[in-house]
């Protein structure tokens, strides 16, 4: 008597486990995909007493100078502010933390690896992640970044961001960039 009931218990446990994992997968894959558009301005400030981007490494013989704040091989760590409008006093809606690398030998091009976390509703605490080339010199308007993932409400996100340079000080590197983001997520 004991052996069959133990077997039944094991079979039930196995069934429960496989049903659970099946339900998880269905929940994720079956949920309808949503499209979300976001619009904001990123403030990347290298100058002043409280910069939002700081140099953490640079290529040999290529230290930043007044002629070029981001020579090839420079790596900056960022905690950039995201605002609703282009003015720094405009409502803060998030921050972008990560790195960018000056990756163009001939003209200004960056590779960004950054996590954009929103702090305003309805997406407070959710984030999307960019890992992409940012061809600043070639496309002052309409350059595109790839969005490769997300967290929170943007779990499983993918998408793209279209950028326009709103302001760039080529002497100190300070910039304000307009972002139009399109995200597909569950």
- Check binding of 124 to ligand NAG (CB under 6 A): yes
Other C-beta atoms closer than 10 Å to the C-beta of 112 total 22
Region 36-65 residues binding ligand NAG, contact defined as CB under 6 A: 39
Other C-beta atoms closer than 10 Å to the C-beta of 155 total 13
Tell the burial category of 126 from Cβ atoms under 10 Å away from its Cβ (0-12, 13-18, 19+).
Answer: buried
Cα 59 from Cα 67, distance rounded (Å): 16
Q: How many residues bind ligand NAG (CB under 6 A)?
A: 11
Helices (H), the chain: 2-30
Q: Which segment (8-16, 69-77, 94-102, 116-124) binds ligand NAG by CB under 6 A? A: 116-124
Of the candidates 90, 165, 172, 180, which one interacts with ligand NAG according to CB under 6 A? 180
- Check binding of 163 to ligand NAG (CB under 6 A): yes
Of the candidates 62, 162, 172, 184, which one interacts with ligand NAG according to CB under 6 A? 162
Residues that bind ligand NAG (CB under 6 A): 39, 119-121, 124-125, 162-164, 178, 180
């Amino acid at each position: 008597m004991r052996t069959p009931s133990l077997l039944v218990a094991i079979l039930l446990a196995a069934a429960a486990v496989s049903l659970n994992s099946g339900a998880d997968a269905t929940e994720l894959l079956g949920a309808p995909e949503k499209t979300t558009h976001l619009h904001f301005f990123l403030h990347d400030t290298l100058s002043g007493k409280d910069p939002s981007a700081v140099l953490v490494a640079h290529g040999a013989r290529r230290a930043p100078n007044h002629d070029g704040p981001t020579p090839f091989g420079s790596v900056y760590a960022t905690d950039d502010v995201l605002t609703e409008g282009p003015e720094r006093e405009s409502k803060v809606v998030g921050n972008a933390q990560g790195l960018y690398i000056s990756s163009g030998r001939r003209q200004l091009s960056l590779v960004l690896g950054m996590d954009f976390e929103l702090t305003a509703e309805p997406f407070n605490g959710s984030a999307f992640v960019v890992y992409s080339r940012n061809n600043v010199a070639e496309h002052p308007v309409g350059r595109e970044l790839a969005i490769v993932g997300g967290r929170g409400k943007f779990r499983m996100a993918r998408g793209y961001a279209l950028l326009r340079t709103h302001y760039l000080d080529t002497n100190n590197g300070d910039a304000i960039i307009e972002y139009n983001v399109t995200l597909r997520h569950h």
